[in-house]
Every structure is written in C-alpha cells, then in structure tokens.
Structure 1
C-alpha cells in the first residue's frame, strides 16, 4: 500500500467516537484511504466528493453478492429471498427498479404526506406516556417506530400485523446482529402473508400495484421476487430512523438553526437536505468491485478489489461545500449535491419518501413541543459502537 494512503480502522475507539474528524483528516491527506475489515480484506475508501460521486456512477465498479456481508445463521430456506434489488446490476436491476419506482416518485411521496401526518401525530400524542423522570427517549418512542409504520402503510402491511413489523424494524435498525438473524424467518413468512392478502383483497398500496403488474405480465415479476420486494422495501424503509434522531440532536445542539427553523417552517425541505449532508447516518456507501484496473487520483485500484464511497467525508468536503463543517439549514441551492442517498443507478429508491417523512416528523415534533430540549448534556449522549452507521443509542429529551 502506498504510504500516502491513510488507513482507517473501523474498530478503533477514536474512529467510533469521532468518525467525522477521522475521515476529514484522511480526506485532506488523500482522495483514497484503506480500511482493513476482518474476514473481508482491505476496502478502498473514496474520501472526496467529486471522486466519490464519479465512482458511484462508474460502470467499471459493480455491486454483487460480495458487496453484502450477511450475518451467519440465516436459515437455508430464507436465503432465496435475501438477494434483493440492491445486489443486482445491469438489466436485472433495471427491470425490478423500473417496476417499483413509480411508487417512489417525488409526486407520489407528496401525495402520501396526508397518510404520514396522522402516523406522526399518533406517536407524538403518546410521547408523554413514555416519560421517565421527566425525560422521553425520542429514538425508542418516535424515530424508531415511525418509519416502520409509514412503510407498512405504503407497502400494504395490514394493521393487525404491524406490531410484529415494529419489532422487525427495531431488529434491522439495531444492526445485522442476532436479533436480525432471529427475525428473518418471521419477516419472510409475514411478507408472504401480506402478498397473499393483497392478492385476495387489493387496496391502494404498493403490493397491490405490483400484483397488478404481475397479473398483466407474469414474466416480469415472479412470486419470490414479490416477497423479496416486500421484505426489502420494509427493511430499507428504516433509513429515516437514524436520520430523524441525528437531525433532532443536531438542531437541539445548534440553537441558531433550531430558532431559524421554528421562525420559518418553510425552511424544512432545505433543513432536511442539510441534515442529510451534515449528519446523515450512513458513513459508507455499499462497496462496489472494480471490473478492471482503475486509477483514482493517482492511486491504482486493481480489478476485483472492493471500493466504497466514504459519504461522511465526501459530504463534508470543502472542495464541494463552502464552510462544509458548518450546519446551515439556509444553505443555498446550486451547490454540489450531497451523497446521503448515494448516486448513480443505485441512488436510494425511497429518497423522496424519506425526505417527506423526515420533514413531517421534525416539523410536527417542533410544533407540538415548543419547549423540546435535550434531557442530558450533549457530551453525555451515547452513540452505538457501529463502524458503518453514525447513530445514537438513545435520545433522551424533555418535552
């Protein structure tokens, strides 16, 4: 390895405690870094915005099954449903994405807002019931249950099944550990049940739309693909959990930004974009594999080597964003686009829904509880020890 290329150890306590500072230093040293991962080998990290954006759209880098490290212990009969759209490239990926994408356009997300608002309101109504010693864990009782309730509504998971899906959502957000592995068989069985129910009782939801597509042309979407899509969309729909929690923490620790948003709620869409850039939960994009030798800023990535965009450093790159380390919800448009939802063919399918959901959640929370404040000193907030996701273990607040 070239001596000029820094190394980032994801298990280093300093990295876990301050990923922004760690990746910032690596970015200013080199456009590439390396990360040793036990059982995976060395992973190249693209640290700068322009190079990361280019790599994510470059067909010389592909996603494949090696991009996803599945935890051990998943039953054999479940593995057929675990290969999701995220693992596909080329025509196979394009076919499935084309079938599902009409449900996730900005227009459809905006139309879905009236169905998100009552879900948010119900969770906000219940917050005082969860208070202990004057504080409420906003992660456990708002940010975590909200996305699973919203995506269940969109996909078409029946009301009576949603308590189980809340448990599945919590297992997913908690990382790919034993709780997730234990939940997989039940998730797949419940996805099968949801597909069967919507086949018998169509409604205004995504599963019903996909079943209509299948009925019109059965060659385009198999039964197993339908179950996998239901499974994947519900799990992928958990993205806003940590975004909402990180965003609320950021606003509560930046009183000027909080005051600006309270004074002008129309800033909410720009605030969501800035929070995605400044404290988005995903530190790294999913690794791609080089299909040939590729040079990035003078460093040779050889054929077959894995490469990931370091979103945490690309989104704070001063080459792309003036005063990149400053949280500014009034940041003007026309600047470089953040990579919080990735870029290229695998740009997050649910980005529009996540934006609307986060906007509704944060604005409703601030409106309902004008005295909202952290329940502990900022330095006492605990982060989960996760080398891939910047997330809180809890978010205690006073209402």
Structure 2
C-alpha cells in the first residue's frame, strides 16, 4: 500500500465533505460503477465499495480479513494503529482501540465472541424490556424540568445518550454513579481533534484506568453481571481471556453498546420530525414501530463505513477485482441506499419493512462480525421512540435552532438535537 494524493478520482475520507454528508460522495461512487480509490485516515490507498452485493461480500466472505497479518505472505501493519500513533495517541492506549473483538479474525474472534454472546441473545434481551421501559419513562418524565422557558430541551444529553448508557452499564456491571462519566468520556471521544492528541490521551487513559479499577474490585467482590463472569473466566483460565483482552473487551462493550444506539435515536428522531407524515403515521399505528426502527437504521444508521478489510486472496467483486493484500472499505450507508435492493432509496418510509422477516439493511453489519447488540439496539429504539411519541405527541424541531452533527468521518453522530416538547405529557 502506498500514500496517495487526493484528486477528483480519489475519495478522501478525511474531507469535511464526507464527514458532514457522505451521501453525495456515495452516489458519485455508485455512478462510477460502485467502487473508487480512496484515502483512509492514514493517507494510504484503499478501495471504497458502496453497493449492497459487494458490501455483503466484503463483510461476510472469509476471503476478507480484518487483521492484515492474516493475509498470506504479507507483513502488513495495522492501518488504524499506525494512524492513531501518527495522531499522537499513546502506544499503550492504541492497543485497546485496535485489538478488540471488532479487530479479530477466525478462532480468536470466535473465542472472544462466545464469552459474551449469551448476554445478548434475543431471550435475554426480551427479559430486559421492562428495565428499558422504566429507564425510558424516568428520562421522559424529567424533560419538562430540563427545558428552557420556551419548552425546548436537547434530547441528546437528556435522552438519547443516557438511555443506552444506563442499559449497557447495567448489563456489564458499571456502577450507576459512574455512568455520567461514560457519557462525558464518549462525548469527548466523539469530538476528537487530531491537533490536540493530549485530550484523547487523557480521555482514553481515564476510561482504561476506570475499567481496570472495576476489574480489580470484581476480583475481590464477585458479581453476577457480565463483568463478574468475564473476571471469573480470566481467573480460571487466562488462556481463554488474558488480562489485556479482559480490559479491552469491557471497554469495547460499554462504548459500542451505547454510542451507536445514542445516535440511532438522535438521527432517527430528527428524521421522523423532518417527515411529519411519518411521525403522524407512527402515532396512529404504534404497531409500525419495528418497521420504523428498521427504516431509521437503513436511512440514517450511525455507522457509515466499517473497519478496513484486507483481501486474503484475489477476489472478483461486482464492481471490480481486488488483488490479495488490497484494502477495502465497505460503505454500509451506501449499501443501505442501493436502489437495486431498496427502491426509491432516498425516500424515508416507515412502512417499507412492514411484515418483512429479518433485515434487508446492513446497519448492524453482516457475517461473523454482525453486531452482538443488534437485538438490544432495536428494542431500545422501539421503546424509546414509541414512548417519546406517546409522551410528547406534538414534539417538533425548533426553527432557528438546527440540530448539530459532529464532524465524524465514518459515522453519523448527532451532537445536539433541540426539540420543543409543545404539549404536556399525556
């Protein structure tokens, strides 16, 4: 792989254009046949792929790997690790961001996934629903007291973030009094400025130290939550879960378990409010909630791209050939608006998935790395949006106070979502 200079033919994923609104870029690539050369965060070349068929191949075909060391005959280094070190992130912290469950292939990935997968089964998630409902109702009841004199409140810090944080922290075993810390840390990570690496180092360092502290307490005070189970596994058999893997797994689960859901809620509620006919339809037909959440995920899910994949051998895609060792970037947001799969893809329609089994979109990924927490995220979306509709049926965006997105390449992150509550709770 070589460094590449941006040009009209090369998509720069670091550009403000892609970070603020990736869809025009995606459609340019689709018009060119579905793939294009691109620059990743390390300024090295990759192939950007936007069509559903090719995205599913890259994510689900075992000829593609995440760890470049698994490309036969290649000694390729981790692009993300190099990029983070190049931004000034401390080497001891880079490990926790680049050697997680999300970065493993084959037997290593299977071993780690098995340790946590039982926590996220559909049955276990269904058992959580009353808890999710209680947290949701409590947060909604507080909104009027948090609103300004015009009845306006920002849903991101007061609803969209605290709901998934409360749920995942309860599952993992993060003490309730520490959950506000995770919300603050996540916000700081989302606003990462590469010109100020010391802020990233401080935030990451505090998060990792906090996880290590929780683990140390669990060694002394065993618990029945996921953290307790993982600590027991480590203590009984370090070969199944090393100390470093334990810290990384807990850190990854807490961050991934609330960040994507928080922005699913932010993006989804904003989209519903910008399509008042859809908001009204959902108010009159709450049975459409599962379909509506799937459409929110398809139309504006949090993830735009996935981790880099490497072709372990020569692969022929619909949009062209990838040689062994080439880097591919699967664009989830592109697959989810592929007109071959989703007719009239730029139209937001909450009835689109009504009665359909499974998922037509790839918002949760595809293949062996399919999101562990997908069922939980869907449930949180259904409970949150349904309860918000019932509590504040006249909710609206605020003229002159536009929602604000974070400039975040690779993700659609809502930083602020001011809404007017309008009516008293029913």
TM-score higher than 0.5:
yes
How big is the shift at 1:256?
Answer: 1.6
Check whether the contact 1:62–1:290 (CA below 8 A) recurs between aligned residues: yes
2:79 equivalent among 66, 90, 107: 66
- Asked if 1:305 is matched to 2:305, the reply is no
Which of the numbers 14, 19, 22 marks the counterpart of 1:19?
A: 22
User: Which one of the candidate residues 290, 307, 316 is aligned to 1:286?
Assistant: 307
Alignment partner of 1:156 is 2:165: no
Q: 1:356 aligns with which of 376, 379, 384?
A: 379
Residue 52 (structure 1) shift: 0.9
How do 1:1-399 residues align onto structure 2 when only pairs under 5 Å count? 7-37=10-40, 39-64=42-67, 65-67=78-80, 69-70=83-84, 72-82=87-97, 83-134=99-150, 135-175=152-192, 178=197, 179-215=199-235, 217-237=237-257, 238-297=259-318, 299-332=320-353, 333=356, 337-376=360-399, 380-399=402-421
Any idea what SS the aligned residue of 2:239 has?
A: helix
Offset at 1:336?
6.5
CA distance in 2, matches of 1:296, 1:106: 34
The 2-side partners of 1:80 and 1:41 are apart by 21
CA distance in 2, matches of 1:298, 1:323: 21
The one-character-per-residue Cα deviations of 1:275-295 (angstroms, maximum 9, x if unpaired) are 100111211111111222323
Match of 2:289, SS state, is helix
- Partners of 1:335 and 1:229 in 2: how far apart? 28
Task: Count how many residue pairs are aligned between Structure 1 and Structure 2.
Answer: 395
Q: 1:127 offset after TM fit, Å? A: 1.9
**Counterpart secondary structure, 1:225:** helix
1:260-282 Cα shifts (integer Å, max 9, x gaps): 21112222112111110011121
* Greater Cα offset, 257-266 or 19-28: 19-28
Contact 2:64 2:311 in 1 (8 A): yes
Give the Cα–Cα distance (whole angstroms) in 1 for the partners of residues 80 and 93 of structure 2.
19
d(CA) in 1 for partners of 2:28 and 2:159? 34
Contact 1:106 1:352 in 2 (8 A): yes
Deviations 1:81-134 (A, max 9, x none): 442111111111110011111111122111112222222222222222332352
**Secondary structure of 2:328 counterpart:** strand
**8 Å CA contact 1:168, 1:180 repeated in 2:** no
Structure 1 position 77, deviation (Å): 4.0
Would you say the 8 A contact 1:53–1:343 is kept in 2? Answer: yes
State the alpha-carbon separation in 1 of the partners of residues 213 and 220 from structure 2: 11
For residues 346 and 138 of structure 1, what CA distance do their matches in structure 2 show? 30
Q: Is the 8 A contact 1:188 1:227 kept in 2?
A: yes
The CA distance in 2 between the partners of 1:291 and 1:261, in whole Å, is 46
Taking the aligned partners of 1:298 and 1:317, their CA distance within structure 2 comes to: 13
Distance of 1:277 and 1:235 partners within structure 2: 22
- 8 Å CA contact 2:19–2:410 kept in 1: the answer is no
- Please list every run of 5 or more consecutive structure 1 residues that lacks an aligned counterpart in the other structure: none
**TM-score normalized by the length of structure 2:** 0.85
* Structure 1 residue matching 2:414: 3-state secondary structure: coil
